[in-house]
Amino acid sequence: MNLHEHQAKELLGSLGVPVQKGRVAYNAEQAVEAAHYAIEEGSNLLILKAQIHAGGRGKGVIHNPETNEPITYGDKELRGVKVLPVEGQENVLHEVWEIARRMLGNKLVTVQTGSEGKIVNRMLIAEGVDIEKEFYCSILLDRATSRDIIMVSTEGGVEIETVAEETPEKIIKETVDPGVGLQAFQARQLAFGLGLEGKAFKSFLKFIDALYNAYMELDASMMEINPLVLTPDGDIIAVDSKVSIDDNALYRHKDVEEMRDESEEDPLEVEAGKHDLNYIKLDGNVGCMVNGAGLAMATMDIIKLAGGEPANFLDVGGGASVERVAAAFEVMMSDPSVKAVLINIFGGIVRCDRVANGIIQAMGTVDVTVPVIVRLQGTNAEEAREILENSDLQFSVAMTLQNAADKVTEALEAIEEGEVAVMDLAMAAAEEVVRPIDDDDDDFDDDDDDFDDDFEEIDEVEVLDDDEEIEEIEFDDDDFDFDDDFDDDDDDDDFDDEL
């Protein structure tokens, strides 16, 4: 769970970490009150910061969400961070009001949000800090080594990714065993790496010790302070902060869980979380529903190899019930970018018949307008296939993972090329009914395995117009060539499955 900057500072400050002072505002009036309080506290600078879950706010631009036009203040585009000097500015509170009015309710577009941006619902009015030098500091979990890593750098105030790429030697790392904790010699190594001495050296030792203790106390998975500021007085202060809390530990931190801002999260991910589903939205067009993270990744890989793009990661878990499967299907179908669905279940702990019933339950309540491919293997797989086949719902059953991926890709290609739509339009043109002339002809036998032969044998058809006059239309064999659309070697007996 990600926290806003003002929330992170509030938590860190309560745990003994020196942080920049400030107050949050949800409207222009509250922003003016917060600014007035900061001025009375003696601040000579006001920093107005838009609060969203994304980086690059200082370079980001506020936009009107309806027109997508940049919002201006004065003769310049309004950024996500605005610094206002207090001394000699009689109208500074009016400026705060004007900026807050333009910032709140509009969207902030940064390099991390993309062009869609994020709506600014709150802002932080922070007090100015005298800066002598800026540093970078972060603590995060290294899953490869099952250890915590503390990273510091003298290059503060810039993207750490840029530093890692251009000047990696300026990043100092210390690996911490969580069972032992941060050792004094490790803290000193970090301080030496930053070139600190005297009071600044001692201030940093206290800071990093408090920060690591807060990291452990909050069950955080990441803490980033950028910039970490050294003041002329030798104090170390966190000016900006990003904190992520391990979702699996939120039951131990009810007060932190109440800070969750669902407006900053993907609505589908929020809905999935209510049903204990592991769902992550991606940029593709093939919805995936599986059980198990490993099978999910394998399914996404095989879809990409077959030419498709996964639209999500969705793991229903090992003990999925009918209700959970139905909820998962509804979440997946709520994504407008999904053009096809692949359900791939291996029945170990979870029973395939439960999954089948969940699919049927969900498809009965959700308007399904895309092809659905189902592959069920394992416990009660045969019963599950019978349940699906006996339903009145339209879907295609695959036996192998490769076969399932191929079916999804074929369906997407048919949609993109408009083959199905064109064929339907041609057959329905002028509301004419087309049938073979020979009444004894068995060309359209439902049990015929080869649909291509049915059309190749039709040389003449009669068209019944509204005035009942009959005319004959001559067709060449090449006029109806479905070889490109359907595979002659396909083992499926049901033409509906091919569509």
Q: Which residues are catalytic?
A: 136, 224
Report how far residue 64's alpha carbon sits from residue 309's, in angstroms, rounded to the nearest whole number. Answer: 32
To the nearest 10°, report the CA torsion of 45, 9, 202, 44.
10
**Contact predicate 9/22, CB 8 Å:** yes
Nearest Cα to Cα of residue 406 among 337, 487, 330: 487
Helices (H) and strands (E) in the chain, counts: 16, 24
- List for the chain the helix, strand, coil content (%; round to 5): 35, 25, 40
Q: Judging by beta carbons within 10 Å of its beta carbon (0-12, 13-18, 19+), is residue 206 exposed, middle or buried?
A: middle
Bridge partner list, 375: 344
User: Cα 481–483–485 angle (5° rounding)?
Assistant: 100
**Contact predicate 347/338, CB 8 Å:** no
β pairing state of 22-25 and 123-127: antiparallel
**Amino acid identity at 378:** G
Q: Judging by beta carbons within 10 Å of its beta carbon (0-12, 13-18, 19+), is residue 99 exposed, middle or buried?
A: buried
**Amino acid identity at 455:** F
* Cis check: omega of the bond before 227, within 30 degrees of 0: yes
Task: Count CA atoms closer than 13 A to 89's CA, side-chain side.
Answer: 18
Bridge partner list, 373: 342, 396
β pairing state of 340-347 and 286-290: parallel
**Contact predicate 150/126, CB 8 Å:** no
Report how far residue 72's alpha carbon sits from residue 61's, in angstroms, rounded to the nearest whole number. Answer: 9
- H/E run at residue 268: helix 267-274
**Contact predicate 335/287, CB 8 Å:** yes
**Contact predicate 129/237, CB 8 Å:** yes
